[in-house]
């Protein structure tokens, strides 16, 4: 650990006040290039905007500004082609500046006028996550579309709806799938919300206090597509609320995916056997030849914990930091990148699973045979005739008990079986107890009756397409 590094500190952006060398282990320990290199495009884009502004304000001559812009554009073209060079610069900002110096010479040293890595990294990171928000939105929409298509395909599938994982009342499978379309709609709102608040410019805050140079922050904001300029230089370099919000939005997406995947895993099990998951999203067992395991869904459920961890890590990293910049803030990137990569991958896998998933209509319906999920219908039937609901509920409960004692499902009970419990029970109750009738009766807005679900599909489609 303590071997002195041969690497002279003077090779760094900040080498002037150091005489000796940086410990090699510390250099490796504090370097962020291995993970912040993915922000190289944002670093160059923001540097080009900064260089243009330095020229426009007369802080640099227009020739110098143009040299910097040309050099940075050439670098962008080159790296787009070749990828990034592997080297031991400490971060992406150092790599861009030192490579620019190799290309355009000493003028590269003027790029950092009126700028610090503190406002630079905050700017790059916001630009990167802004793209991340756009990618998330598109991917969320893709999954919504797959769910809509599946809801349409399975519009006639009736299955038990649950509370407490006990049969509650039958619902349409399409209704169940649409529930997720609305959840993902809220996720998209949250992503858009996070995007709105992160789309403000830190650049120009310099290290923490602003700068004496007559910079034009509004110009840089316009060039980079930021909607506003952050008003306080200390806040600009110290704030990572936007990253927390981004991670919170990812966490909620993952929580939704995890709940859905848990359901897919249950539905695909032999106990339920309601859905057939696409083979290409399952794997087999090395010992049990019959296995078709829902690995995709399980892994998404598992990765949810990891994204929650990214959020908690970020909050914990921030909670004790005095203003303004502290090196701790460098820990913001890996968790945000991990959450973005993980959430995008999980959304894509879920979309594939949903597109290929088929309900086994007969099995889903058969799950209702012999159950008591029509009990609320009996209570509603009596309540409609003026019996107070509480009393009607009691009568229906007694009928459930009798059915259980006879080993029958509610729909199999005869008039003679039920009439002893209430003189108001007549022949017309019997057809109301079949699963399809129970579903058809739920005609309230947002309910599971087929015509309501069709309306809901139309509304969901309009919501997904932003109409």
Residues with catalytic function: 164, 285
Cβ of residue 133: shortest distance to ligand ARG, in angstroms? Answer: 20
Chosen residue from 22, 32, 410, 456 binding ligand ARG by CB under 6 A: 32
Which residue number, 32 or 144, has a Cβ lying nearer to ligand ARG? 32
Q: Is 117 in the site for ligand ARG (CB under 6 A)?
A: yes
The reply to whether 335 sits near ligand ARG by the rule CB under 6 A is no
Which part of the chain contacts ligand ARG (CB under 6 A), choosing from 115-123, 182-190, 277-285, 390-398?
A: 115-123
Tell the smallest beta-carbon distance from residue 265 to ligand ARG (Å). Answer: 39
At closest approach, how far in Å is the CB of 328 from ligand ARG?
9
* Residue 325 interacts with ligand ARG (CB under 6 A): yes or no: yes
Work out which of 42, 43, 64, 91 binds ligand ARG, going by CB under 6 A: 91
3-state SS track over the chain: CCCCCCCEHHHCCCHHHCCCECCHHHHHHHCCHHHHHHHHHHHHHHHHHHHHHHHHCCCCCHHHHHHHHHHHHHHHHHHHHHCCCCCCCCCHHHHHHHHHHHHHHHHHHHCCCCCCHHHHHHHHHHHHHHHHHHHHHHHHHHHHHHHHHHHHHCCCCEEEEEECCEEEEEEEHHHHHHHHHHHHHHHHHHHHHHHHHHCEECCCCCCCCCCCCCCCHHHHHHHHCCCEECCCHHHHHHCCHHHHHHHHHHHHHHHHHHHHHHHHHHHHCCCCCCEECCHHHCECCCCCCCCCECHHHHHHHHHHHHHHHHHHHHHHHHCCCCCCCCHHHHHHHHHHHHHHHHHHHHHHHHHHHHHHCEECHHHHHHCCCCCCCCHHHHHHHHHHCCCCHHHHHHHHHHHHHHHHHHCCCHHHCCHHHHHHHCCCCCHHHHHHHCHHHHHHCCCCCCCCCHHHHHHHHHHHHHHHCCC
Output 46 or 399, the one with its CB closest to ligand ARG: 46
22 binds ligand ARG (CB under 6 A): no
Closest approach of Cβ 449 to ligand ARG, in Å?
A: 55
Scanning 62-70, 144-152, 298-306, 327-335 for contacts with ligand ARG by CB under 6 A, the matching segment is 327-335
Per CB under 6 A, 376 contacts ligand ARG: no
Nearer to ligand ARG, 59 or 243 (CB): 243
By C-beta, is 11 or 356 nearer to ligand ARG? Answer: 11
**CB of residue 237 to ligand ARG, shortest distance in Å:** 9
Closer by beta carbon to ligand ARG, 18 or else 389: 18
Nearest to ligand ARG of 118, 351 (CB atom): 118
Sites of contact with ligand ARG (CB under 6 A):
32, 36, 91, 117-118, 121, 325, 327, 329-330
């Amino acid at each position: 650990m303590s071997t002195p590094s041969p690497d002279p500190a003077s090779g760094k952006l900040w080498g002037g006040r150091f005489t000796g060398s940086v410990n090699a282990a510390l250099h490796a320990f504090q370097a962020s290039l291995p993970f912040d290199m993915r922000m190289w495009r944002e670093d160059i884009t923001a540097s080009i905007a900064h260089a243009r502004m330095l020229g426009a304000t007369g802080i640099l001559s227009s020739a110098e500004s143009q040299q910097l812009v040309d050099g940075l554009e050439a670098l962008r073209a080159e790296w787009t082609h070749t990828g990034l060079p592997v080297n031991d610069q400490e971060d992406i900002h150092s790599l861009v500046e030192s490579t620019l110096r190799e290309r355009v010479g000493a003028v590269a040293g003027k790029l950092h006028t009126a700028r610090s890595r503190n406002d630079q990294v905050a700017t790059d990171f916001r630009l990167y996550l802004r793209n991340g928000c756009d990618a998330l939105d598109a991917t969320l929409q893709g999954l919504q579309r797959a769910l809509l298509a599946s809801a349409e395909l399975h519009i006639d599938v009736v299955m038990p709806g649950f509370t407490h994982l006990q049969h509650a009342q039958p619902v349409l499978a399409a209704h169940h799938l649409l529930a997720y379309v609305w959840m993902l709609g809220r996720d998209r709102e949250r992503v858009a919300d996070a995007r709105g608040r992160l789309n403000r410019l830190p650049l120009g805050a310099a290290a923490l206090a602003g700068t004496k140079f007559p910079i034009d922050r509004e110009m840089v904001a316009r060039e980079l597509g930021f909607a506003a300029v952050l008003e306080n230089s200390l806040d600009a370099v110290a704030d990572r609320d936007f990253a927390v919000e981004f991670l919170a939005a990812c966490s909620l997406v993952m929580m939704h995916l995890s709940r859905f995947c848990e359901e897919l895993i249950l539905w695909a099990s032999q106990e339920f056997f309601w859905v057939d998951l696409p083979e290409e999203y399952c794997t087999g067992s090395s010992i049990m030849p019959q296995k078709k395991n829902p690995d995709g869904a399980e892994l998404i459920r598992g990765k949810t914990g990891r994204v929650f961890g990214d959020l908690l890590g970020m909050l914990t990293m921030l909670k004790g930091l005095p203003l303004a910049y502290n090196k701790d803030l460098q820990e913001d990137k890996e968790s945000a990148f991990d959450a973005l990569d993980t959430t995008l991958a999980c959304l894509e896998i879920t979309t594939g699973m949903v597109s290929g998933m088929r309900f086994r209509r007969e099995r889903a319906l058969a799950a209702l045979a012999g159950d008591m999920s029509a009990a609320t219908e009996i209570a509603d039937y009596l309540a409609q005739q003026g019996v107070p609901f509480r009393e009607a509920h009691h009568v229906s409960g007694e009928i459930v008990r009798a059915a259980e004692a006879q080993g029958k499902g509610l729909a199999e009970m005869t008039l003679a079986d039920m009439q002893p419990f209430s003189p108001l029970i007549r022949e017309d109750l019997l057809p109301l107890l079949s699963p399809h009738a129970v579903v058809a009766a739920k005609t309230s807005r947002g309910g599971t009756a087929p015509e309501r679900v069709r309306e809901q599909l139309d509304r969901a489609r309009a919501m997904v397409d932003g109409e």
